[in-house]
Amino acid sequence: MAHRMSMNDFAVLSTGRKMPLVGLGTWKSEPGQVKQAVIWALQSGYRHIDCAPIYGNEPEIGEAFQEMMGPEKGIRREDVFVTSKLWNTKHHPDDVEPCSPKNLSYIVVVLNLNEFNSAVECKREQRNSSVASIKPTVLQVESHPYLAQVELLAHCRDRSLVMTAYSPLGSPDRAWKHPEEPVLLEEPAIAALAKKYNKTPAQIIIRWQTQRGVVTIPKSITESRIKENIQVFDFTLEPEEMNQVTAVHRGWRYIVPTITVDGKSVPRDAAHPHYPFNDPY
């Protein structure tokens, strides 16, 4: 049976628009797999899909939308929140339209600025005018218990920005995963809470984010996990349990673009004057 959404399942943007707190991530979801994943997600109650042309799979995601949405298909297009993103070389207004999935009346365009992403909500008809003049409403950054982003979240709240957490499960299917890196889904403090609530570690992590008002976009192409990841609205972590999850923070960033210099792997953008990853913001 499809999960029923309640009002608590949304973050409210400064525009008044509601953004579902759990969305489906689609980076690394290959063509041939992603259409079915999006269909399972929509059938399971997801109303938020996180996309990008750079992921190379938006045409198939569009096929899933066409199959699932529209008159007599049960899901209205305007009920589904779709995020897409412009790569760093695609910020000119002329590049925006070709980058956006077709047949979408609303879209959120994320401008990737030196990996420090700010998002603007815009309507299709406004898109070709001046996206830069639209006040940002969402900040999409890496966040999970090992990178809790406490200061950044406070900073966002002060500015009426909603934070979206990418790689919320630690992105275990990344090509550059290091064998010695900490494994978020095996964190003992989270496993203990999973046992207490008869939930999985992924559900505890997603619940922690949603309970502090952070949007999460876990990626999966597995039907059971897609369903599992949105079943986080039937339990509540105690305040001290919220603090326990936040306390496992270790400033660990899984998504750091690297290049090889003199045989060594180093952060790609570290010499940039606005490199953001050394600051808490």
Q: Does 166 bind ligand NAP (CB under 6 A)?
A: yes
Closest of 174, 175, 179, 149 to residue 161, by C-alpha = 149
Q: Does 28 bind ligand NAP (CB under 6 A)?
A: yes
Per CB under 6 A, the list member of 225, 249, 253, 268 interacting with ligand NAP is 225
Could you tell me which stretch among 60-68, 124-132, 186-194, 213-221 binds ligand NAP (CB under 6 A)? 213-221
Distance, CA of 57 to CA of 27 (rounded, Å): 8
Which residue's CB is nearer to ligand NAP, number 38 or number 169?
A: 169
Q: Does 170 bind ligand NAP (CB under 6 A)?
A: yes
CA dihedral of 99, 130, 11, 217, whole degrees rounded to 10: 20
Q: Classify residue 161 as exposed, middle or buried by CB count within 10 Å of its CB (0-12, 13-18, 19+).
A: buried
Could you tell me which stretch among 6-14, 20-28, 71-79, 121-129 binds ligand NAP (CB under 6 A)? 20-28
Q: Does 27 bind ligand NAP (CB under 6 A)?
A: yes
Q: How far is the CB of 132 from ligand NAP (least distance, A)?
A: 18
Distance, CA of 100 to CA of 246 (rounded, Å): 36
Distance, CA of 233 to CA of 209 (rounded, Å): 12
Instruction: State the residues that interact with ligand NAP by CB under 6 A.
Output: 25-28, 50, 85, 117, 140, 166-173, 185, 200, 202, 217-222, 225, 228-229, 255
